[in-house]
Structure 1
Amino acid sequence: MECNTCTNKIGSARLAVQCSQCHKHYHCKCVDLTTTDSELINSGNKLFKCYGCGSSSKDGDFTLSDVMKKLNELITKNVDMCVSIELCHTRIQENNKLLKDQDARINSCLERIDSLSQQNTHLQKENVELKRQINEQNQYSRKNSLEIFGVPEIKDENVIRTVQVIAQSLGVNLDKQRIDAAHRLKSNIRKPNEPRGIIIKFISRLDKDDFLKARKVKRDFNTSHLSHYFTQLNVHPAKAIYINESLTYENKQLLNKCREFKKNKNVKYLWSRNGQIFMRMSDNSQVFKISSIESLRDVH
């Protein structure tokens, strides 16, 4: 009995093995087997296949068909993986398309928002300008009007007669034909116990100017100056009577802001003339026309 590898005779069967497929004999050392391997193979506990029959290792567990089977399994898995990857690529492409569509929609929305924002800004400016024009028109409609505060009310009052008495006290001769309208204003909710103000609209602006000028001349004008005309008036203690140009609500609010500014910034002069508000820091400083709260920034 010869070794199919080295062709030498096999002396001891214990040191040789037989291929389970071709039944040829081999020295253990010629096929890199140990004595233990030889004992397991010869006892039938382990199979041996020579290299020619597809043995790939010394344990002889895998044949070429086994390798091909595993390879086919790997190929199948690889095909499945390729299909899965291709599906992923398809999904990615679909998602990319969706993202592009969303980007286009978002850009369209942003452009629309920008356009609406510009329109809104334009409308806000237009609204401010319209409010300014309306306020100017309303103020112009008051060009012949004055407001009087501090005059006590009497029962069954004839407001035009009261205005004439005030004019006489100021040294102004005022016929009722020169008065277009006169009436008491609403009560001041913040000062409910004070008499309601009086608004007068003159036929002529000149009469309004004369009336206002006379009040400025008579600086101490108060309720005591009316006592000899209205004996039923309670003029004790005497209270000042104020006469001002009739301003729109917006201009009154602006004038109040100007008064706060005057107090905080030590401004010396603040006045209104023909419905317009003016301010001057000192005797020798520049006169500023205040048309809005922003105008106060320029006062110096």
Structure 2
Amino acid sequence: MAQEILERVKAIDYKQTELHRALLICQKTVNDNGNLSYALKNAISNVCLQAMEMSREMVNMRTSFNEFQTQLNSTEQLSLKNSIEIQGIPYRQDESILGIVVNVCRVLEVKIGESNIDYAYRVTNNGPADPSRPAPIVVRFVRSLTAERLVKAKRLKGNISTDALGLPNCPTSLFYINFRLTAINRKIFSRAWLLKKRGIIKHVWTTHGKIFARRGDNTDRVRIRNIHDLESLHKD
């Protein structure tokens, strides 16, 4: 009987030892899983931090690129200080562009000869010609002061039609003179003009190739240097 009890005690002791060993294994597994979970959390956190840093770098790079593009556009616009566009003069076969320019100067009472003109040409349309919107005439003068005098004279004279030019077989239409804009500034001005037509801004105009706008009659004028300036004006 005592021997049987002793055997049973040994069996229980063995089971307790095995159970203890199993508990130790479980504890180690839990610890290992905990370490793995901690490592995964750290890895995910690091990836998130790197993604945020890359996002900040992208924003900084985009800002730097926009600033560079704006500066480049300003430099290009400055190079056009001698150039103007005459808009609204209908196209005629065998027309003399230099003759038209000199004639326009005569009507505006600005004394300019062909020697004051570096070059002049009519812009070529990529698509089909629209008689109601003739391609503009681009003129580059030898001196920027000449361009300024012509733009100022047209502003003071107000509306003038092509009848004043005495061009034969030329439909009657108003013509306009402005400083020539860069491709980017033409795009900006076109968008600004659409905002004006939609009533979002009240005034938009150009001065010496610079674009300005006003939200209302009593608001300050805002210089529009790029599309982002225009979008900010739209959102304000």
TM-score of the two chains, using structure 2 as the length reference: 0.79
Alignment of 1:1-300 (within 5 A): 65=4, 74-187=12-125, 189=127, 192-193=130-131, 194-226=133-165, 228-229=166-167, 231=168, 233-235=169-171, 238-263=172-197, 264-265=199-200, 267=202, 269-280=203-214, 281-282=216-217, 285=218, 287-291=220-224, 292-293=229-230, 296=233
Paired AA for residue 180 in structure 1: D
Q: CA deviation at 1:137?
A: 0.6
- Counterpart contact for 1:151–1:223, Cα < 8 Å: yes
After TM superposition, give the deviation of residue 134 of structure 1 in Å.
Answer: 0.9
Structure 1 counterpart SS, 2:158: coil
Unaligned regions of 5+ residues in structure 2, if any?
none
Distance 1:147 1:68, change over 3 A: farther
The amino acid that maps onto 1:161 is G
Which is further off, 125-134 or 79-88?
A: 79-88
In structure 2, give the amino acid aligned to 1:144.
N
Cα distance in 2, alignment partners of residues 298 and 178 from structure 1: 45
Task: Give the structure with the larger helix fraction.
Answer: 2
Do the aligned residues in 1 keep the contact of 2:92 with 2:170 (CA within 8 Å)?
no
Give the match's secondary structure for 2:173.
Answer: coil
Q: What RMSD, in angstroms, separates the aligned Cα atoms of the two structures?
A: 3.1
Distance 1:298 1:203, change over 3 A: farther
Give distance in 2, aligned partners of 1:257 and 1:272.
13
CA offsets per residue over residues 145-170 of structure 1, 9 Å max, x none?
Answer: 11122222233444223322222233
| Deviation (angstroms), 1:273 | 0.9
CA distance 1:298–1:91, shift in 2 (3 Å): closer
- What is the count of residue pairs matched by the alignment? 229
Aligned mates of 1:126, 1:113 — CA distance in 2: 20
Unaligned runs of 5+ in 1: 1-52, 55-63
Structure of greater Rg: 1
Corresponding letter in the other structure for 2:162: T
CA distance in structure 2 between the aligned counterparts of 1:155 and 1:198, rounded to whole angstroms: 14
How far apart are residue 88 of structure 1 and its match? 2.1
Structure with higher RCO (Cα < 8 A, 6+ apart): 2
TM-score with structure 1 length normalisation? 0.64
Q: Partners of 1:76 and 1:186 in 2: how far apart?
A: 101
